[in-house]
Amino acid sequence: MLQTTPVTTEQAPSPADVCSAPPRRHPRPDGQDSYTISEVVAFTGLTAHTLRWYERIGLMAHVDRSHTGQRRYSNRDLDWLDLVGKLRLTGMPVADMVRYAELVREGEHTYGQRRELLEETRRDVLARIAELQDTLAVLDRKITFYSRGA
Amino acid sequence: MLQTTPVTTEQAPSPADVCSAPPRRHPRPDGQDSYTISEVVAFTGLTAHTLRWYERIGLMAHVDRSHTGQRRYSNRDLDWLDLVGKLRLTGMPVADMVRYAELVREGEHTYGQRRELLEETRRDVLARIAELQDTLAVLDRKITFYSRGA
DNA sequence: CGCTTGCTTGGAGCGCACTCGAAGGTCATA
DNA sequence: TATGACCTTCGAGTGCGCTCCAAGCAAGCG
């Protein structure tokens, strides 16, 4: 049950989503593939409430359970949470992320739709960066002004 | 009453806040310095509700009124709204913007505090841009993957 | 005069993304 | 075996940033 090769961010059993191999986002002990919710809290900074809520709304596939019904998160789950964290930073609404999660669960034939969704997000991110750089210019002008004035 | 020189974004009667001269953000007829709320709605894209709310919470200084009590916005008010719009894009909480507005109303002796606040915001914006570029990299890897796969 | 349009106010309501509470089950350690 | 930490569920509550509503006033027009 141990998975030593880099785990895919996707939940689909695709042969090689090696695209998400390099950046291990949160510190994570090696040689382990089963974490309690409080461990995941420590890794991700999310609260246990939020993790359970993500599962309820379908933003995460059903997480494995121990024989007593407690959640046991896999490395794959952690990778997924990393992606969700990134998308959250872009301002993508949770509903859209849920949509993406659904596409992933539906299997490989949704690759096209997934790509579309990500490309739209990409455009949003680029626009967002441009806005922020614009704002940066305004801030710099004002800061310069206040530095001279004071 | 006509103000033909570039108007300052600050409400303080500072001799030369020329720093905010160049970028006229929203289209705005020249040779006029008094706009109804619906004109401001057209310029800024905000709703009248939001404009009145900004005033109630102290995010805008009290706006001039006509003899019948209706709001008459000045170019200076529009400049302020431009700044607020920019700060809003950075994710700055409304409460912080209100704080900044208070500093502006308190006069020139708050220059230092204003600069500090803006510099903190600047740091936030830079961090935000870095995050987004990080996310962009993830998106690009995934998009490439889906393009190859499909 | 009546009608419409646009503005005024204070306060209530909404959507989002969590966040928390209550009641109870499980587990490791002393 | 008992204490306390940690987990479970579902539903209700919170904070933010608006968003809307109802009631009423003022101006312009046929």
Nearest to A144 among B19, B135, B139 (CB): B19
| Integer Cα distance of A134 and B24 in angstroms | 13
CB proximity B70–strand D (7 Å threshold): no
Q: Confidence band (pLDDT; 50, 70, 90) for B118? A: very high
Letter for the amino acid at B96?
D
Question: Does any CB of chain A come closer than 8 Å to the CB of residue B48?
Answer: no
Task: Kindly list the residues from chain A whose CB atom is less than 8 angstroms away from the CB atom of residue B146.
Answer: 111-112, 114-115, 118
The pLDDT of residue A3 is above 50:
no
Using CA coordinates, name the residue in chain B closest to A138: B20
| Integer Cα distance of B108 and B105 in angstroms | 9
Look at residues A50, A45, A96 and name the one whose alpha carbon lies nearest to residue A71: A50
Question: For residues B25, B27, B32 and B34, what is the CA-based torsion angle, rounded to 10 degrees?
Answer: -80
Give A125→chain B minimum CA distance, Å. 7
Tell me: the pLDDT tens digits for A114-129? Answer: 999 999 999 999 999 9
In sign, the C-alpha dihedral spanning B78, B84, B88, B90 is positive
Any bridge partners for residue A72, and if so which?
A64
Tell me: the pLDDT tens digits for B44-93? Answer: 999 999 999 999 999 999 999 999 999 999 999 999 999 999 999 999 99
The alpha carbon of A60 is separated from its chain's Cα centroid by a whole number of angstroms, namely 10
| Integer Cα distance of A104 and B110 in angstroms | 53
Question: What's domain A18-149's architecture?
Answer: Orthogonal Bundle (1.10)
Residue B26 phi, psi dihedral angles, 5° rounding: -100, 145
CA B3 to C1' C7 (Å) is: 26
User: How confident is the model at residue B43, as a pLDDT?
Assistant: 93
